[in-house]
């Protein structure tokens, strides 16, 4: 719980995201922020994800954010919970991105994580795009490919 609180303080400080549990868009964004942060060294092992309509979702994360105690850690000590996390890269990747981008990104990363052990090179890329297009049927293949290329540029996907 302390790690989640530290991450929330980081999000507020670095990208101006002040989490409100009663706001659906905030809960969706937090789900995706936590998922993406795991690809950048944030140690959120306790949160396992499954794919749902709006992309990767963690029931255990939802349980935690509904039971947060905001004053559990002080502002001064939150940084120690972010050890190993590539904070600047995370901000570069997600700052200013909307819910749709976060959903597609998290879905691409989830598919990539599952497929990178099975496929390589062009076949890996093809399978990631096809599967993500199937899961995110409201997104165009052009939009998915564009975000895929962005994630490769950031080094989150390595083909």
pLDDT tens across 32-67, in order?
Answer: 999 999 999 999 989 999 998 889 999 999 999 999
Question: Do residues 22 and 59 both lie within one domain?
Answer: yes
Q: Are 110 and 35 in contact, with CB atoms under 8 Å apart?
A: yes
DSSP code of 16?
Answer: -
pLDDT value of position 75: 62
How would you classify the pairing of strands 50-52 and 55-57? antiparallel
Question: Do residues 77 and 49 both lie within one domain?
Answer: yes
> Which of 96, 121, 149 marks a domain boundary?
96
Question: Do residues 28 and 87 both lie within one domain?
Answer: yes
> Which of 63, 96, 129 marks a domain boundary?
96
pLDDT value of position 1: 78
Question: Do residues 60 and 117 both lie within one domain?
Answer: no
Question: Do residues 61 and 116 both lie within one domain?
Answer: no
Question: Do residues 42 and 55 both lie within one domain?
Answer: yes
Q: How many domains does the chain have?
A: 2
> Which of 96, 128, 145 marks a domain boundary?
96
Regions of the chain with pLDDT less than 50: none
Question: Do residues 153 and 127 both lie within one domain?
Answer: yes
Q: Which domain holds residue 141?
A: 98-159
* CB-facing half-sphere around the CA of 10: CA atoms within 13 A: 26
Question: Do residues 31 and 47 both lie within one domain?
Answer: yes
d(CA 58, CA 42): 15
């Amino acid at each position: 719980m302390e790690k989640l609180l530290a991450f929330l303080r980081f999000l507020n400080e670095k990208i101006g995201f002040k989490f409100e549990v009663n706001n659906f868009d905030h809960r969706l964004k937090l789900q995706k922020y936590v998922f993406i942060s795991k690809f950048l060294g944030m140690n959120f092992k306790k949160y396992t994800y499954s794919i749902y309509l709006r992309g990767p979702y963690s029931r255990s994360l939802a349980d935690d954010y509904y039971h947060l105690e905001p004053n559990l850690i002080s502002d001064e000590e939150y940084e120690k919970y972010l050890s190993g996390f590539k904070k600047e890269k995370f901000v570069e990747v997600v700052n200013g991105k909307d819910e749709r981008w976060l959903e597609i990104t998290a879905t691409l990363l989830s598919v990539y994580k599952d497929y990178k052990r099975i496929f390589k090179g062009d076949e890996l890329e093809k399978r990631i795009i096809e599967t993500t297009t199937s899961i995110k049927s409201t997104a165009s293949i052009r939009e998915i490919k564009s975000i895929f290329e962005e994630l490769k540029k950031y080094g989150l996907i390595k083909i």
